[in-house]
Amino acid sequence: MRIAVASEGLNVSPHFGQCASFTCYTIDRGMIVECQNTPNPRLPPRQLASMLGDLDVRVLVAGCVERDALDALGAEGIEVVPCASGTARGAAEAYLARTLAGDGEWHGEEEGRAVHGM
């Protein structure tokens, strides 16, 4: 299994679709065992979700996720954890420790098209 964090450098990107890259952490027995950085190819949401699925990503962490991307990721069986901040590794570790959470609500911009929290 892999956790992908939408990233800007070493930090969580505030926007999934506009991130510079995806920092992908391979998880084995609940621990991070490998890290790989994959540049964002700026594909449409369905193709990007498919690419992440092909990389065995099962969880995506980001600051904000557009509704169409959220739907595409869900169709790939990828759990989305929005409303994250801080370092990418810290977010992945917090997810594994079950301490990474959004603010408990869905928030939208432009009539609910951007998702900011869970």
Contacts of residue 60, defined as CB under 8 A and 6 or more positions apart, other chains included, come to 3, 4, 5, 6, 16, 52, 73, 78, 79, 80, 81
Q: What is the mean pLDDT of residues 34-54?
A: 96
- Tell me the domain boundaries of the chain: 2-115
> Please, which pLDDT band fits residue 95 given cuts at 50, 70 and 90?
very high
Q: How far apart are CA 45 and CA 28, in angstroms?
A: 28
- Rounded distance, CA 65 to CA 73, Å? 10
pTM of the shown model: 0.85
Neighbours of 101 (CB within 10 A): 13
pLDDT at 44: 95
CATH T-level assignment (fold) for domain 2-115: Nucleotidyltransferase; domain 5 (3.30.420)
Tokens of 96: 């594994």
